Amino acid sequence: MSNIKHHLTDDILMAYSAGTLPEAFNLMVATHLSLCDTCRAHLASFDAVGGEVLDTPDVDIAMDTASFAATMALIAGGPTEEIKVTRPKGMLPAPLQDYVGGDLDQIRWKPVGLGVKQAILPTSKDASARLLFIPAGAAMPDHGHKGTEMTMVLQGAFQDDDDYFARGDVETADSDHFHTPVADIHEDCICLAVTDAPLEFKGLLPKIAQRFLRI
Amino acid sequence: EDKTKKRLLWVSHLTRIRDNQDKAAFAELYAHFAPRVKGFLIKSGSDASLAEECAQEVMATCWHKAHMFDPSRASVATWIFTIARNRKIDVLRKQRRPEPEELTWGPEEEPDQADVLALQQESELLGRALADLPAAQRDLIQKAYFGDLSHSEIAAETGLPLGTIKSRIRLALERLRHVLK
Ligand SMILES: [Zn+2]
Ligand SMILES: [Zn+2]
């Protein structure tokens, strides 16, 4: 199915399984899992740990007396949520299409200078998610991070130091990491990027750009 | 051995709910799991009345989605855990939860009985490995799943330095993985 080389970290997968990640990071994980069977299998093992944690007697707290009857009444009322089974066609995996409202052609890009464009996706405020368009051969400004930043390639590829990231690959960078991802020369690069803290840029010009980028 | 039987029993209960809308099977499943779901939600920061309400909804979802449970991929406890966890994100954290694309596509087949048995036995090994962990490690794993606790918050709560926590969780998971190999 894929040649993905750079995967989600155990910390992130476990937090996704526990349900403690901000929405933007959940979106990143769900998007990667849609393309990656390896991480899907790892997630299954973290979910299995969750199941065993749930199924221990010391977790037990007695239900109210009338609760079984109330539950049967809920059941009689029919399912509350519809079950989605569609797998949309296109470049963007299903979870991202939900946020974009369609495939690549539906993304509302905003130029941020030097040919770079971005589209901020609507998520809860504790972290941010955006799509980035980096022209073939162009570089992101040199920057470090206060929190965790994850970047996943959807189209094209980028190089960061010695590592090469292609479709499905995820780069996870944390606070002590300064870097300059450069898009591959052959194709414009489109990425999903999520952060839980503002990025720190090195130069003055990028600092100004940061205000416009809202990152 | 006995415990694997118990796990297979839950699997057959879900089949009976799916095929026959079997209320007796559901009542037994409910008696076992509803209080655990309620406890899970309370330990995750919910108040008792909201947890009670959510636990009822989670169990009703088990009834309605019984046809989606695949016993060659998860134990019943794991499946219920994922439903409860999603409910927790919806209700307690008030966020959307993006889900990955569905893997299964095309006509559903009954899973192979040998695969079902293997998966349920593996779950039993995992459960035992978790129970056999030193109390401090088991505690941290529970906290990671119940509490909305990041590693650093766990550090603040237990007074343990961050490095120790990260390596303990990693160690515990490695032990669990080792048992499953
Ligand atoms: Zn992966
Ligand atoms: Zn970065």
CATH number for the domain including B94?
1.10.1740.10
Residue B137 has pLDDT above 90, yes or no: no
Shortest distance between the Cα of B16 and any Cα of chain A, in A, equals 16
Residue B117: inside a domain: no
B100 and B55 inside one domain: yes
CA of B52 to the centre of ligand 1 (A): 36
Same domain, B25 and B90: yes
B-chain residue closest to A22, CA distance: B95
Assembly ipTM: 0.87
| A209 to chain B, closest Cα gap in Å | 30
Distance of CA A47 to CAs A170, A190, B80, Å?
Answer: 21, 31, 10
User: Could you report the per-residue pLDDT of A34-87, keeping only the tens digit for each?
Assistant: 999 889 888 888 898 899 999 988 888 999 989 999 999 999 998 876 655 566
Q: Which range marks the domain in which residue B71 is found?
A: 2-111
Residue B119 lies in a domain: no
* Domain match, B165 and B82 both: no
B138 in the same domain as B107: no
User: Which of chain B's residues have a Cβ under 8 Å away from the Cβ of A44?
Assistant: 73-74
Report which DSSP code applies to A170: E
Domain boundaries, chain A: 1-215
Question: Residue for token digits 């899992």?
Answer: A33
The architecture in CATH of the region A1-215 reads Sandwich (2.60)
3-class secondary structure, A183: strand
What's the number of domains chain B is made of? 2
**B90 and B10, same structural domain?**
yes
What three-state secondary structure class fits B134? coil
List of E strands, chain B: none
- Which ligand places an atom closest to the C-alpha of A168? 1
Q: With bands split at pLDDT 50, 70 and 90, how would you rate the model's confidence at B159?
A: low
Q: Could you give the CA distance from residue A196 to residue B97 in angstroms, rounded to a whole number?
A: 17
Mean pLDDT of B76-99: 89
The pLDDT tens digits of the residues spanning B58-73 come to 999 999 999 989 998 8
- Residue B118 counted as domain residue: no
User: Which residue in the set B142, B149, B151 is minimally distant from A53, CB to CB?
Assistant: B142
Same domain for B32 and B83, yes or no, is: yes
> Does one domain contain both B66 and B15?
yes
Q: Which of B116, B110, B105, B81 is nearest to B4 (CA)?
A: B116
Residue holding tokens 């991802």? A181
Residue B150 in contact with residue A20, Cβ under 8 Å? yes
Instruction: Using a pLDDT cut of 70, give the percent of chain B over it.
Output: 77
Distance A128 CA to ligand 2 centre (A): 13
Q: Identify all chain B residues contacting A17, using CB atoms and an 8 Å cutoff.
A: 85, 145
User: What CATH number should be reported for the domain holding residue B146?
Assistant: 1.10.10.10
- CA separation for the pair B88, A140 (Å, rounded): 37
Which is more confidently placed, B77 or A48?
B77
User: Would you say residue B124 lies in a domain?
Assistant: no
